[in-house]
């Protein structure tokens, strides 16, 4: 994870959700890893499916741009 900015962001997000985060797999962290594996705590997450809304937003944006550019070309 060293020098991997995206992984640091992932770790920060997981930590905010209550997931234990360690900086490395060094022996000094083995106890924390073991405690996590033995823990039966379930982190509830809700990731709603917003795929259709995102696609609609993208298509509408580019449809508007296309129609705007096409209308100008037709008038010329």
Residue spans of alpha helices (H) in the chain: 5-17, 30-38, 51-75
The two tokens of residue 25 are 């797999």
Could you tell me the residue range of the domain that residue 57 belongs to? 5-75
Residue pair 10/20 in contact by the 8 Å Cβ criterion: no
CA distance 68 to 65: 5
Query: How many domains does the chain divide into?
Result: 1
The two tokens of residue 75 are 């008038």
Q: Is 41 helix (H, G, I), strand (E, B) or coil?
A: coil
Provide mean pLDDT across the span 25-54. Answer: 93
Taking the mean position of all CA atoms in its chain, how far away is CA 4?
A: 15
Give the global pTM.
0.54
pLDDT at 64: 81
pLDDT, one tens digit per residue, over 47-66 is 999 999 999 999 999 988 88
């Amino acid at each position: 994870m060293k020098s991997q900015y995206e992984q640091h962001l992932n770790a920060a997000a997981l930590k905010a959700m209550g997931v234990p985060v360690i900086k490395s797999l060094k022996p000094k962290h083995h106890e924390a890893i073991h405690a996590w594996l033995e823990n039966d705590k379930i982190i509830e997450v809700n990731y709603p499916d917003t795929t259709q809304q995102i696609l609609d937003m993208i298509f509408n944006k580019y449809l508007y741009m296309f129609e705007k550019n096409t209308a100008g070309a037709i008038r010329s």
